[in-house]
Amino acid sequence: MSKKADAPNNCPGCGTPLKNAGAPIGDDYCPNDDCRLLVEEIRRQISSAMEARRRDAKIRDAARDLLEALEKLLACPAIADGNHSEPAWGCKETAEAEAFARAAISKATGGE
């Protein structure tokens, strides 16, 4: 890249001074018509990265909610005490679900 393109208000693609320089990313643009495709591609990449961050935040929130729900499930007295003799909790499937939930929490929290 040339020294001209390294200037903060110049296009990273061709070095031409940007129009609307200092505006939020994606609002400044290169007036060089030969460079427009590069600028549009950069805008698409920025937009895609921002969307990925939003999706990542949603996934993290959902995982946090799931972890909280599992912790509440395991706080149920019949499970917390290990008493599987109650009719609602006295089956093999419940014991397996408890073991699975405890393993999932351990994995999600790094074994804390």
Please tell me which residue, 9 or 91, carries the higher pLDDT value: 9
- What is the rounded distance in angstroms from the CA atom of residue 58 to the CA atom of residue 38? 30
Under a CB-based contact definition with an 8 Å cutoff, are residues 39 and 11 in contact? Answer: yes
Across the chain, what does the average pLDDT equal?
73
Nearest to 42, CA basis, from 57, 32, 27, 55? 27
What does the radius of gyration of the chain's CA atoms come to, in whole angstroms? 27
pTM (global) more than 0.75: no
Query: Is residue 13 predicted with pLDDT exceeding 50?
Result: yes
